[in-house]
Structure 1
Amino acid sequence: MSLIEISDLLCLKTISTPVYQPQGDSVLYVENGIVEKTQEYYSSIYLYNSLEKTKECLIHGGKNTSPLWNREGSSFLFLSDETGKNQAYLYTLATGEIKQVSAEKQGLQQIIWHPDNLHFFYSTTRKNENSSEVFITEKIDYISNGQGLLDDEQKNVICQGKLDNFETEEITACSLGYGLHKIMTVSNDGQYLFYERFLLEDSFNQDSGLFRMNLGTKSEDWLSASAKKGMFGEAAISEGGRYVGTIGTPISYHTSNQLGLSVIDLRTQQMTSLSKKLDVQVSDFAVSDCKPTTNNSLLQWSNPLKAFFTLISIEGKVSLYCFSLEGDFESYPEVGPHVYDFTLHPTKPKALLCCSAPDSTSQLLVLDLETRKITKWLNPNQSFEEEKQFAVYQKIEAKANDGGRIPGYLVRPLEKTKQVGAPLIVNIHGGPYTMHGETFHHEIQQMAAAGYFVLLLNPRGSFGYGQDHLKGVVGKYGEEDYSDIMTALDHVLAKEPEIDENRLFVTGGSYGGFMVNWIVTQTNRFKAAITQRSMSNFVSMIGTSDIGYYFFVEENAADIIKPAKLWEKSPLAYVGQVETPVLVMHGEEDYRCPMEQAEQWYRALKYQKKEAKFIRFPNSNHELSRTGKPAFRLIRLKEMMAWFKQHDDITN
């Protein structure tokens, strides 16, 4: 068996957005991958016949996503970027005919059918098309990572379109909360549209609510009004339409607040929490560089079982959970360990699940929700996985200085020099509100294949371990989060004599990049460091990051009027203490952690005559390592491994 290589990134495929045909015999799904010759991404739509166990590619070339059957199962809508922007198309199964049915200048974000099969709803961005070539704004939130400069009149809206012409009707403004999937859904009778929308037109308030519109009268109800604030979305409607499930939180929006599951009784307008017995995060927050974009709803109603189903990030895994209307719940931990997408059978107690594991990039499974029997349907990487050797994730847990938990994983190397101890890389996740989990992560597998132990920690600030663990980092960057990482490292070194404590390395991106910068100002025990899309100066970041004016104010309990604490928390303030060689990697169009953060850090290191190297990736934003240009992702990994090897005395 061969080891994972950097170039293997180009041949990995993932499955997403499975959708049952209304009769339940056939399934549409999306296969995602990279065309090796052109190094461009593709998403193709396949039809899988569950009775004959055959699959057929219906739509190939470009990015084709979000397939949705009509009520008869005779045709489906989907999104395609064939014209350069995502537009809606109709595919007729009997003839194979494809017809474009939308023409929005800014393209479409999401689509759903109207039950009459003649109309559909979609979300899009509307902006001032007559704006000047010079950018003029009076708003504080005028820029966004992945989008660039935002017009002052720009807004996200839901529109209704027709299949027989390009006439559209703008219905309402809308928004999508962090970690949620679906902006809108429609009642089974077609009378009501349910959607998420910001509560205020206030750049400093990110609260959103769940709303319902009567499509006949255009009257609107604020369904989550009893909470008055918070974030609510992802509506799922019960059979008969009396109950609406929603994912959110009644606490004012902040990424450090866990999301829960609630149900609203439309007869009484009463909202009840179904997940109050669980101290967990609803949604998928596992870190991976091979996780596809999913378009299925995160919350779904099962008619056969009269219950809601959703995904929950817990203890390093993402599992399927079922909640009854009475608040009883059960999980399906035998499936996974990382379930990143699912859909429920329309008439039977079954579910289709897209799953990942450290040794498996992506599989499509069928789960009988009553017997818990699992049947494997598709694995697009089966031959690849049979030829490759994968590193094992070993659960570890250390005790924090204050008695709290420091959970994580130790990934063992697949080959190492026998005469000496093996090197170790501490790989720190971003967020900080994400989670290292038991999933396929090409970067981690490649590091293990190169002979490194890899330490994946979920220190305070990580999802999956309860609200207290999550909020332990707020206002305390560089404090207990730093001590958590160093304590867990010492814990592992004490238990693993195979690791050479003189061959330690560290890397991380975003918040993880901040932690790398902070670590090298506090200790010299690492042979080399790689900081990616990082933060170095919170004083300037307040004004340059797309979310800096509110996120970093909340995170550090300080603002630009009283910047002393911002500077106190900035690695740049301590750059003179750095002795570790540092590789700085950053995307030119990163507006979340702007390029100026990398520039300041690199220049300060060089000004102090420290050993440093700077790699800048053109036309790349904050998502470079996950969805960036494939050629750049390969260069990134090659440069990372070369930097570690260069500074490992044993290998030189």
Structure 2
Amino acid sequence: MENIRIDDFKDYSFLSDIEHSPDGCHACFAVHKMDMDENKYLSNLWVYSSKDGRVFQLTSLDSERSFIWMDDETILFPDIRNEKDKEKVEKGEDFTQYYQIGINGGEALKSFRIPRKASSIKMIDENTYLFASPYNAFENESYILDDNERDKELKRRKEEKDYEVLEEIPFWSNGRGFISKKRSRLYLYCRDTKSIAPITDENISVLDFNLNEKKDKIVFIANGFEGIMPRTNDIYLYDIKSKDMKKLTESGKLEYEFAGFISESKLILLGSDLKRYGVIENKKFYIVDLNECKIKCITPELDKSIWNSVGSDCRYGSSASMKVIDGHLYFITTEVDSSYLNSIDENGVIKRIIGKKGSVDAYSINNSESLFIGMRDLGLQELYKLEGENEVRITGFNAWVHDKRSIAPLEKISVETAPGVVIHGWVIKPVDFVEGKKYPAILDIHGGPKTVYGEVFFHEMQYWANHGYAVFICNPRGSDGRGNDFADLRCKYGTIDYEDIMKFTDAVLEKYSFIDSERIGVTGGSYGGFMTNWIIGHTDRFKAAASQRSISNWISKFCTTDIGYFFVDDQQGATPWNNEEKLWWHSPLRYADKVKTPTLFIHSDEDYRCWLAEGIQMFTALKYHGVAARLCMFRGENHELSRSGKPKHRLRRLKEMTDWFDKYLK
């Protein structure tokens, strides 16, 4: 076995978006790889045959990552495949070219072109398609202009790129850029007439939408606002034939995350009133009877996280986490340290479908077969088939990692940090561990804070274990998977969570005597970056730190980040005007004059979740007070640098941290 190398992730395969064909005989999914030379990701569509178990590559131009089934044997996907279209995109033209390809062979053929940027497309019939598209109130709709007017509009847009006008908050969004006066609108496209018809108006932003089985009605979640985006949203019902639109919910009541037809006469919703636990509150399921227009909560006692928050740096691509299939809603939950697949019916009866520890990242269910993309037994993503309660691995894209590389096991440790409070964590020993030898160690803190670490593959941790470090991780209070009370950190940031992490560290050092207590480093990103900043201002026990995409000042975060104006008030119980001292007390920057720990700061210039200024403030404070500090800023990256950043940037990030720890811990 060879040691895991720092750049091994360039050879990993990442799977996403599995979906059965209408007849259930095949399933399509996306496979993504890194191209280090071009510094980008390559994506292709693959197909699994349920009849003979065969898995084969369908597309090969490295740019196909999303799709829908048109019929039992034909797949539709968007792509830019010729130089002329590429030139139009570079010029700024708005269009989405769709291709169709048969799964039994043959080349992809041009199907139709929508004269807008389209996403989340759904087929109503062979002639009609429903899609979402970004809308900008500062721009003219190019698809309604003639050629001369369109050229003038494109020229005007090019000139306007030097300016950004802000009239709303949030004014930008991580991964999307500036969003003031921008919305996601719903449209219908007719292939025969090549015409587009908007469904929603310019002030409504659509968050999610679904069709009923007959495909004559649309349910969608939307935010209608001007000036300040509210935390709550509404459910709308649209009749395609009559063009009648009806708002089903009372504004200002709930924040909805999903809406779908569980039957022709009933909707199932996922939402929260945010009253008891704020923005981190676990959501509940509701049923809407369309005949009576009544909303009823069918899971009043449910206290589970309805999403997959098990962290890993070995995923790429998006997948739906909730789907209505044959009168049941299927959904993923995070419980303790794993994610599972479940179903619920209109009466609120929940059934566990996939219950093995690990991570369920995507799935597709039909009458005869259950498929899922998951991470099992410290392996990377693969496609699995459920046979009874047994899981059968179908693919072996990443089998070489287990076959050729040394993977360090995770040893679980549970620590009582307060009366009645037990937190769980793991220790990863160096792969070349020698009894009696002392080793440096790195404490790695997850983001969120409402996410979890689990027993899944994490490249950076495995690399460090192969590089001579022990690594230890935990899920302190504030983490996901154990209900609302455990996750509730409001007004407590830097208190109970800090105590949990420090007591966990004490327990690790006591149990694992091979760790050299004089050579321990600490790192974390997002919330983990906040906690890293907090730790170095409250203890000198760590000899080096790497703070990533961090928070240092809750006052500046309030007015500068895409979630600042609601997240800070919600989580800290204060604004800069009603309790400035409260925000300052919880800010790591306040304690920067006490820091002695050499600290590396990793930040991206397009991180609008934890803006660059947060890292710069802490870096400046440390340099001012004579502490060794270094800031590495990544241009063109955002909050997702460590998970989906450009391949070379991800490699540089990990190298920066490793070199920093090597300098001070080895």
Q: TM-score under structure 1 normalisation?
A: 0.91
Q: Does 1:145 align with 2:174?
A: yes
Q: Does 1:190 align with 2:209?
A: no
- Opposite residue 610 of structure 1, the aligned amino acid is V
**For the residues of structure 1 that align with 2:501 and 2:313, how far apart are their CA atoms?**
22
**For the residues of structure 2 that align with 1:291 and 1:551, how far apart are their CA atoms?**
26
Tell me, yes or no, if the aligned pair for 1:426 and 1:454 is still in contact at 8 Å: yes
**For the residues of structure 2 that align with 1:326 and 1:396, how far apart are their CA atoms?**
39
What residue in structure 2 maps to residue 180 of structure 1? none
Q: Does 1:507 align with 2:523?
A: yes
What residue in structure 2 maps to residue 433 of structure 1? 450
Secondary structure of the residue aligned to 1:172 is coil
Aligned-pair identity (%): 28
Displacement, 1:495?
2.2
**For the residues of structure 1 that align with 2:544 and 2:167, how far apart are their CA atoms?**
44
What residue in structure 2 maps to residue 217 of structure 1? 242
Query: How far does the alpha carbon of each residue in 1:311-342 deviate from its partner, in whole angstroms, 9 at most, with x for none?
Result: 00111100011223332223245445100111
What residue in structure 1 maps to residue 149 of structure 2? none
Tell me, yes or no, if the aligned pair for 1:45 and 1:58 is still in contact at 8 Å: yes
Query: Structure 1 residues 380 and 163, CA, compared in 2 at 3 Å: closer, same or farther?
Result: farther
Query: How far does the alpha carbon of each residue in 1:398-434 deviate from its partner, in whole angstroms, 9 at most, with x for none?
Result: 2223532322332332124554322221111112122
Query: How far does the alpha carbon of each residue in 1:84-134 deviate from its partner, in whole angstroms, 9 at most, with x for none?
Result: 5883513141753322534455x33311111x2221111111112256442
Displacement, 1:41?
0.3
**For the residues of structure 2 that align with 1:88 and 1:490, how far apart are their CA atoms?**
58
Please identify, of 268-277 and 623-632, the stretch whose mean Cα deviation from structure 2 is larger. Answer: 268-277
Query: Structure 1 residues 229 and 409, CA, compared in 2 at 3 Å: closer, same or farther?
Result: farther
- Opposite residue 112 of structure 1, the aligned amino acid is K
Secondary structure of the residue aligned to 2:506 is helix
Equivalent positions of 1:315-334 (< 5 A) are 315-334=336-355
What residue in structure 1 maps to residue 128 of structure 2? 119
Displacement, 1:358?
5.5
**For the residues of structure 2 that align with 1:162 and 1:34, how far apart are their CA atoms?**
37
Secondary structure of the residue aligned to 1:644 is helix
What residue in structure 2 maps to residue 287 of structure 1? 311
> Which segments of 5 or more consecutive residues in structure 1 lack a partner in the other structure?
178-182
What residue in structure 1 maps to residue 495 of structure 2? 479
Q: Does 1:533 align with 2:549?
A: yes
What residue in structure 1 maps to residue 198 of structure 2? 170
- Opposite residue 632 of structure 1, the aligned amino acid is H
What residue in structure 1 maps to residue 664 of structure 2? 647
Number of residues of Structure 1 aligned to a counterpart in Structure 2 = 630
Q: Does 1:363 align with 2:382?
A: yes
Q: Does 1:556 align with 2:572?
A: yes
Query: How far does the alpha carbon of each residue in 1:356-391 deviate from its partner, in whole angstroms, 9 at most, with x for none?
Result: 1362111111114xx324322113112333212212
- Opposite residue 337 of structure 1, the aligned amino acid is G
Tell me, yes or no, if the aligned pair for 2:474 and 2:501 is still in contact at 8 Å: yes
Secondary structure of the residue aligned to 2:200 is strand
What residue in structure 1 maps to residue 371 of structure 2? 352
**For the residues of structure 1 that align with 2:357 and 2:249, how far apart are their CA atoms?**
32
Tell me, yes or no, if the aligned pair for 1:533 and 1:622 is still in contact at 8 Å: yes
**For the residues of structure 2 that align with 1:396 and 1:196, how far apart are their CA atoms?**
42
- Which of 321, 338, 347 is matched with 2:359 structurally? 338
Q: Does 1:232 align with 2:265?
A: no
What residue in structure 2 maps to residue 241 of structure 1? 264
Query: Structure 1 residues 553 and 233, CA, compared in 2 at 3 Å: closer, same or farther?
Result: closer
**For the residues of structure 2 that align with 1:379 and 1:165, how far apart are their CA atoms?**
45
**For the residues of structure 2 that align with 1:247 and 1:418, how far apart are their CA atoms?**
52
- Opposite residue 313 of structure 2, the aligned amino acid is D
Query: Structure 1 residues 341 and 88, CA, compared in 2 at 3 Å: closer, same or farther?
Result: farther
**For the residues of structure 2 that align with 1:411 and 1:163, how far apart are their CA atoms?**
56
- Which of 540, 543, 549 is matched with 2:559 structurally? 543
Displacement, 1:187?
1.2
What residue in structure 2 maps to residue 108 of structure 1? 118
Secondary structure of the residue aligned to 2:199 is strand
What residue in structure 1 maps to residue 145 of structure 2? none
**For the residues of structure 2 that align with 1:235 and 1:329, how far apart are their CA atoms?**
17
Q: Does 1:99 align with 2:110?
A: yes
Query: Structure 1 residues 332 and 397, CA, compared in 2 at 3 Å: closer, same or farther?
Result: farther
**For the residues of structure 2 that align with 1:292 and 1:64, how far apart are their CA atoms?**
13
Q: Does 1:450 align with 2:467?
A: yes
- Opposite residue 155 of structure 1, the aligned amino acid is R
Query: Structure 1 residues 420 and 382, CA, compared in 2 at 3 Å: closer, same or farther?
Result: closer
Give me the CA root mean square deviation. Answer: 2.4
Query: How far does the alpha carbon of each residue in 1:62-89 deviate from its partner, in whole angstroms, 9 at most, with x for none?
Result: 432232112x324222233654588351
Displacement, 1:606?
0.8
> Which segments of 5 or more consecutive residues in structure 2 lack a partner in the other structure?
140-155
Displacement, 1:157?
0.6
Query: Structure 1 residues 638 and 211, CA, compared in 2 at 3 Å: closer, same or farther?
Result: same
Displacement, 1:204?
5.0
- Opposite residue 412 of structure 2, the aligned amino acid is K
